[in-house]
Structure 1
Amino acid sequence: MALPRHIQFGQNDQGDYWPGFVDALATLLLVIVFLLAVFTAGQFALSTALSGRDEQLAELNARLSTLAQELNLARSENEQLALRVRGLESERDALAATNLALEASMAGLREGLAAARAALEEEEALSEEAQATIALLNNQMAALREELARLNEALNAAEAREAELEAEVVNLGRRLNAALASEVARLARYRSDFLEAMMGVLGDRSGVRVSGDRFVFETDILFASGSAELSEDGRAALTPIADAILQLIGELPSDLDWVLRVDGHTDRVPLGPSAPFRSNWELSTARALSVIEYLESRGVPSRRLLAAGFGEHHPIAQGRTAEAYARNRRIELKLDAR
């Protein structure tokens, strides 16, 4: 059986390794001494360096303290200077405001001075102009006095002429009234002849009558209810009227200015929504026009005809009975002056 290797080595090398071990230990000791020497030298150098650093740090701290004090002094001086600057700025602003006020005051004084100069110049100019104006007014007053005297003479002449004209007007009025009275008397005579002729033509026909100076037709014999178109019976009733008017025209003097007035009247009953006319005004006027158109068609001259519509506003019968309504629905013929 083989022995372990280290046992074999010990057995073979007994007494031979100790000098090497001593050499190695001596070498290690030298190295340790060297390292201690190096460490000691380094420690000394580090102590020396640290001592120098402490002195430098103390110097730096002293300088930093000095600089801090100087900085505080500088800040204090800066604050004082800032306060001084603000005070100076306030004084500058106050001086600027005062300067502006003074400039405005100076401008006002300049304007006042300029206005005073202008007013003085204007007064001087007005003084000269006033003198010229006074002279002109004196001349105008003289001219006005002359014109007033001339107007007084003209007024006196006009008053005299007015008195003459008033006398002429009075005379003409009397003559005109006399002529009108004569014309009215002539027209009244021919109106009586007209009514007499109409009564002779129509006789006792129902629905036709004389009322004062006019001839009255009840429209129920001329028109259908709510209509303005002449019925056949209405045309037949108006035919002898037209012939009588034509006969009367030949008998009337040519210098008598007359017209046959045809008046339309209705009752007070309102028209229904389906009626062709909006009101009784329109219905009465349309019926009067229908009579005139028929008389024209029979030969009566148009210039001798006049149409008028009165609606329900001139009733001849009061009350709300059918008889009263029938009497109020009428056509009136009247010979009248134009």
Structure 2
Amino acid sequence: MALTRRRFSGEMNYWPSFVDALSTLVLTVVFMLSLFMISQFFLSQEISGRDEALIRLNSQIAELTELLALERAGARDLADNLAILQSGLDAATAERDRLQAQLTAELGAGAAAGDQASQLSTALNDERQVSQRALAQVELLNQQISALRRQIAALEDALDASEGRDRESQTKIADLGRRLNVALAQRVQELSRYRSDFFGRLREILGTRSDIRVVGDRFVFQSEVLFGSGSEQLNPAGTGELDKLAAALLELEAEIPAEIAWVLRVDGHTDARPLSGTGRFRDNWELSSARAISVVKYLISQGVRPEHLVAAGFGEYQPLEQGETDEVYARNRRIELKLTER
């Protein structure tokens, strides 16, 4: 939107070329902010989806890890059983060999040992059957161990794949965070440009008085410009300056889209000297707050929308300078204006 050319205090005009350039800048800012809000919405949706996927992935990893631990415990039990059966098989084999040798010796002794040989042969057959059963069990255990090893290998592969997906997700989330930080930095830069443009306009409107100046990102009125000593009532000179400020704010309200939340914060500050105690204010807190409220109410009376104004009092606790001279006291007594987000 192009700014309407105005006169302030009968001295100042906006050049048409400056108006066009400023309109182009405002439209560019609005367009960039709209793009940022849309991209931020999609980024937040993507990050939310990635977080849910990561939670599910971590849950699956925990389940796989628990199952792997159970399978490994089962493998250890089977290995222990196999060792016990192998030991029994070795003992049975030794006993079979001993009986075979004894049988051979007894057979050589003659018919008198026939009954004993028959008993030994029966015992030998029994031992052979035990040995065969033990071998069958050993073979079954070997097959079970092989199956467990395959399951463990599959679980380890699944765990490695899950860890790989987790690392990939973390990388994507970190990339999204970096992109979001870049977008936020761009937004802060655009807001800083807009604030600088607004304060530049105020500087042109209010002139180059030594008691009205820009300090950092704030526009500063010395208290004596607006108020009498110890009073929160605006003096005629102060209302004249605030009329100029109100006109600039009305133009600003017309330019900024309704979806952009912004406020002009009005901060009241006093010097460090305590009040006499005979006036209507008990301390500097009350005086600084009352002065800020007086400025806000006057701007509202000139048509500025209340939702774009904030009043705050800081007493003597945020001085611009340290010291106890009259000059330092005078600089610390002030009203500060700061354009910021709501």
TM-score, with length taken from structure 2: 0.49
> Which of the pair has more CA radius of gyration?
1
Structure 1 length normalisation: TM-score?
0.50
